[in-house]
Amino acid sequence: SSRGVLTAIEAARNTDVPLNATSLLAAHLSAGESVPAVNPATGEAFGTVSNASAEDVEQALSAARSWSAPVETRAAVLNRAADLYEANTGAFFNLLAREAGKTLSDAVGEVREAVDFLRYYADQAAKHSENPKGVFTCISPWNFPLAIFSGQIAAALATGNGVLAKPAEQTPLIAALAVKLLHEAGVPRDALQLVLGKGSVVGAALTSDARVSGVAFTGSTQTALNIRKAMAGGMAPDAPLIAETGGLNAMIIDSTALPEQAARDVCASAFQSAGQRCSALRCLYVQEDIADDFIAMLQGVMDEYLLGNPWELTTDIGPVIDKAAKATIDQHVETARKEGRLIKQLDAPETGHFVGPALIRVSGIKDLQREIFGPVLHVATFRAEDLDKVISDINETGYGLTFGLHSRITKRVKDVSQAIHAGNIYVNRNQIGAVVGSQPFGGEGLSGTGPKAGGPNYLPRFKNRAAPGTY
């Protein structure tokens, strides 16, 4: 209920989290290189973290074990961890805002999803109790630093594997708190080890070692390709890589769409979470006859957004993750401005890593060479007779994560949904979101190997050494 959420938010503001990560991590790592934890909303350091040294990585690899407890025990422990996550909601809100720049409404959704993953995989575990089991390296991104991190780990543990967990460089404290709670719930320390550090160093070491029997990865497409290469050099040839990667997600608005609802859905899909969702809308196609009015309406919706400190209940859009991300997105918008294609950009706070949501004109999705991971929406127009060409252009990007359609023509909804290659298709609604257990999430082609996370086919890949998929 909203009242429960508000109480939890108040608790979050008052929660004392040990910000010097050494106290959280003392049990996990000896001191390697010390790096600051940075608040993206201010650009300031608020804690410190010790990355794993080469010896730490070796020690973790040699200590790693599968989890041999009976399946009932594993399920009970994961359910207990879900309870502990809920009891620590305030601490998670606090860290999600400070370390990942998450608004409180995004943080609420993220804790909920993490808890759902733990309970769902605990529930599914009984169906997957037989061998083989080994050790999985789980590598996660910063944009869902609790939900994706916990989901991968829970899946591997539920199937009796041990886990070496390597979170993103930007979000180690959230990961450390999650691992601390999983250990408290009863996951043995050698069956779940947190290994912090750079992807190119620590991540690479953990994905090229023969002691690891599989990798669960979520992050960019390029990193997945690097990991596939590293695995081929070190692991068994049939070691599974479960990869969930980037997208160039499109939405089509035809002239029968309900304009006000569609405009709100478009803006939420493109700008919520500062566009830092793999599912976010990147390229909008609006039917030519309604385009001028619709683009004006989008600008009206954008004007309602408040950018600012993620801690404030009134904030709609927080910062992007770090200085490097801001520089990349700013440069993309600047190029569009110079070329006369920038339709609108909101002002952003000057301190911290903020980027104002931007609307950029393009001729079609082929103008987007890569995923820009921020609050930038590209808009193209199309004529009704060119709809098939629009669909083939979207499919030809090779990605296939999310797709959205606003139309009230039933036959068109059916035909377009069948023709588009995408893991998740959203009709007459916004294009973001998944529900563990009932609306699993995952992409095709360059967007991922499948199977979908939070669905019934996900756990078997953690015990099955055959490796279908594109990577």
What residues are labeled active site? Answer: 244, 278
Q: How far is the CB of 198 from ligand NAD (least distance, A)?
A: 6
Summarize as ranges the residues that interact with ligand NAD (CB under 6 A): 139-144, 148, 166-169, 199-200, 203-204, 207, 218-220, 223, 226-227, 244-247, 278, 371, 373, 401, 441, 443, 447-448
Nearest distance from C-beta of residue 317 to ligand NAD, angstroms: 18
Of 113 and 371, nearer to ligand NAD (C-beta) is 371
Nearer to ligand NAD, 142 or 462 (CB): 142
Q: Beta strand pairing status for 34-39 and 44-50?
A: antiparallel
Closest approach of Cβ 211 to ligand NAD, in Å? 16
- CA-based angle 64:66:71, to the nearest 5? 150
Residue 226 Cβ vs ligand NAD, minimum distance, rounded to whole Å:
4
Q: Rounded to an integer, what is the distance from CA 211 to the centroid of its chain?
A: 27
Quick check: 453 and 440 in contact, CB under 8 A?
yes
Q: What is the distance between the alpha carbons of residues 322 and 159, in angstroms, rounded to a whole number?
A: 35
Label residues 108-128 b or e (16+ Cβ within 10 Å = b).
bbbbbbbbbbbbbbbebbeeb
Q: Least Å distance between CB 468 and ligand NAD?
A: 17
- Sequential DSSP letters for 115-126: HHHHHHHHHHGG
CB of 87 to ligand NAD, least distance (A): 26
- Give the Å distances, CA to CA, from 372 to 223, 360, 369, 398, 464: 15, 12, 9, 16, 34
Q: Are 222 and 257 in contact (CB under 8 A)?
A: no
Residue 98 · residue 46 · CB < 8 Å: yes
Which residue has its beta carbon closest to ligand NAD? 199
Cα–Cα distance for residue pair 337/393, rounded to 1 Å? 25
Burial class (CB in 10 A: 0-12, 13-18, 19+), 189: middle
What's the min distance (Å) between Cβ of 94 and ligand NAD? Answer: 21
Complex with ligand NAD: residue 110 or 254, whichever CB lies closer: 110
Collect contacts of 287-296 with beta carbons under 8 A, ≥24 apart. Answer: 287/253, 287/254, 287/255, 287/381, 287/382, 287/383, 287/384, 288/381, 288/382, 288/383, 289/255, 290/253, 290/255, 290/257, 290/259, 291/381, 293/259, 294/253, 294/259, 294/262, 294/263, 295/343, 295/359, 295/379
Nearer to ligand NAD among residue 199 and residue 308 (C-beta): 199
At residue 25, what is the residue type? L
- Closest by Cα among 35, 58, 54 to 45: 35
